[in-house]
């Protein structure tokens, strides 16, 4: 029986090949678990991907729309942003929600903590459910050009199930909330 | 009103900074949607991330365990693998399922098509539900050292809802199947 705590990969060398404000890329010389020599390119994320699914008292939720540079396409998603490693992720979530939608939430609950793409990157995503909402003024970052939509949660759930929303963080958050609503509705009345 | 078809990012220059068998990284000089100058590092994936949630007639599913190099930790996940761009993704899914578990499935249904990390990468994930299973012989790739577990779907669902599985593709696939089982059970009897 293999010991899950023992790393079967051996690292023989490493060189950083790229670095910017958000990521760096390192190429490792490795011996793989089967004993073969090879290289492994790892993308390290300097931020945690924070997502906020905001649900108001009438079961509406909020999507932001933006043109995603890396996809060359427009995407509707829950509010998302980067939380620097070591920062309080709940504080980062509060800041992102306020910046992108102008919303302040009384109640916060972490609903997902996942690795987004674990063959190549160490990107961690932490997703919160925010309820008890009140509207303040949005103040998007200079680089962002966001549109905002308030939609019923049912409508957003349908968009997800029909494959009309393709952002994985949003897809997973909406499915998780739906399952929570089905299984433990009372817990949502904080 | 903004036109969602118009890319508000302008590209002033681009240089590839890294390339291997699986990814390449390009740094772009950009003008962001607000008119500010900056750089954008994009990670291009040469493969689509294929996932297979296999469900047998007794509602069991299959997880594979492996030490994830980029996370420095062990991870239990559904069978996953890379499908080269342009390849038939269903054929890639059939191949991965057979390689990793020795299973052959009569019925296939695409249940998710999502972008995993759209702030930095263009990685696309396509996830299939496979049913009507029969057991052949597994033949893992040379670089893989996999353990396999057959668990009831209910048990895997509980691991996901409790945050014990952190691979986003597996988390999303399991939640999607649960919602399908709740909402449209008859459709699963192919």
User: Hey, are the CB atoms on B22 and A41 less than 8 Å from each other?
Assistant: yes
Average pLDDT, chain B: 93
pTM flag (> 0.80): yes
φ, ψ at A150 (rounded to 5°) = -100, 125
User: Hey, are the CB atoms on A27 and B42 less than 8 Å from each other?
Assistant: no
Q: Which of B22, B40, B72 lies at the smallest CB-CB distance from A69? A: B40
Q: Is A187 on the interface with B (CB under 8 A)?
A: no
Question: What tens digit of pLDDT does each residue of A141-163 get?
Answer: 656 678 999 999 999 999 999 99
Question: What tens digit of pLDDT does each residue of B112-169 get?
Answer: 999 999 999 999 999 999 999 999 876 766 566 789 999 999 999 999 999 999 999 9
Q: Is B3 on the interface with A (CB under 8 A)?
A: no
Measured N-to-C along each axis, helices B168-184 and A168-184 cross at an angle, to the nearest 10 degrees, of: 50
Secondary structure of residue A146 in the 3-state scheme: coil
Between the CA of residue A5 and those of A9, B79, B84, B140, what are the distances in Å? 12, 21, 32, 21
pLDDT at A4 over 90: no
Question: What tens digit of pLDDT does each residue of B26-55 get?
Answer: 999 999 999 999 999 999 999 999 999 999
Structure confidence at residue A67 (pLDDT): 95
Q: What is the dihedral of CA A86, A91, A96, A99, to 10 degrees?
A: -130
Structure confidence at residue B135 (pLDDT): 92
Mutate to test the interface with A, among B26, B82, B114, B157 (most CBs of A within 10 A): B114
Mean pLDDT throughout B14-36? 97
Mean pLDDT throughout A27-45? 97
Residues of B in contact with A182 (CB under 8 A): 182
Mean pLDDT throughout A29-34? 95
Mode of pairing for the β-strands spanning B80-84 and A103-115: unpaired
pLDDT at A190 over 50: no
Q: CA gyration radius for chain B?
A: 19
pLDDT at B187 over 60: no
Determine how many CB atoms are found less than 10 A away from the CB of residue A103: 22
Sheet holding B10-19, edge to edge: B10-19, B23-31, B37-45
Structure confidence at residue B141 (pLDDT): 65
Between the CA of residue A41 and those of A18, A119, A156, B60, what are the distances in Å? 11, 10, 36, 35
More confident: A85 or A73: A73
Q: Which of B42, B65, B145 lies at the smallest CB-CB distance from A34? A: B145
Whether B144 and B65 have beta carbons less than 8 Å apart is answered as: no
Confidence of residue B190 (pLDDT cuts 50, 70, 90): very low
* CA-based nearest distance A134→chain B, Å: 26
Structure confidence at residue B30 (pLDDT): 98
- In the numeric block, which tokens belong to residue B84? 């080269």
Q: Is B111 on the interface with A (CB under 8 A)?
A: no
Structure confidence at residue A30 (pLDDT): 98
Q: Which residue of B has its CA nearest to A31?
A: B143
Structure confidence at residue A119 (pLDDT): 97
Angle (CA) A54-A112-B170 rounded to 5° is 125
ipTM > 0.90 for the complex: yes
Q: What is the dihedral of CA A144, A146, A152, A156, to 10 degrees?
A: -70
Share of chain A above pLDDT 90, in %: 85
What CATH code would you report for A47-188?
3.90.79.10
Confidence of residue A58 (pLDDT cuts 50, 70, 90): very high
Residues of A in contact with B142 (CB under 8 A): 32, 34, 36
The domain limits of chain B are: 10-45, 47-188
- Give B70's contacts (C-beta < 8 A, 6+ positions apart): A40, A42, A43, A118, A119, A120, A121, A122
Q: What pairs with residue B148 in β-bridges?
A: B64
- In the numeric block, which tokens belong to residue B33? 């949607």
Mode of pairing for the β-strands spanning A73-77 and A60-68: antiparallel
Confidence of residue B184 (pLDDT cuts 50, 70, 90): confident
Question: What tens digit of pLDDT does each residue of B78-125 get?
Answer: 999 999 988 899 999 999 999 999 999 999 999 999 999 999 999 999
pLDDT at B189 over 60: no
Question: What tens digit of pLDDT does each residue of A84-116 get?
Answer: 988 899 999 999 999 999 999 999 999 999 999
């Amino acid at each position: 029986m293999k010991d899950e705590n023992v790393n079967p990969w051996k690292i023989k060398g490493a060189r950083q090949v790229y670095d910017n404000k958000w990521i760096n890329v390192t190429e490792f010389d490795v011996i793989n678990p089967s004993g073969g020599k090879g290289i492994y390119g790892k993308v390290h994320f300097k931020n945690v991907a924070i997502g906020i699914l905001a649900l108001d008292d009438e079961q509406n939720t909020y999507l932001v729309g933006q043109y995603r540079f890396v996809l060359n396409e427009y995407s509707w998603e829950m509010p998302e942003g980067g939380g620097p490693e070591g920062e309080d992720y709940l504080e980062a979530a509060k800041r992102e929600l306020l910046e992108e939608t102008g919303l302040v939430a009384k109640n916060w609950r972490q609903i997902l903590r996942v690795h987004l793409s674990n063959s190549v990157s160490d990107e961690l995503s932490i997703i919160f459910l925010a309820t008890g909402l009140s509207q303040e003024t949005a103040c998007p970052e200079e680089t962002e050009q966001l549109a905002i939509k308030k939609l019923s949660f049912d409508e957003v759930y349908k968009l997800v199930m029909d494959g009309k929303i393709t952002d994985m963080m949003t897809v997973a958050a909406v499915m998780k909330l739906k399952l929570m609503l089905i299984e433990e509705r009372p817990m949502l009345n904080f």
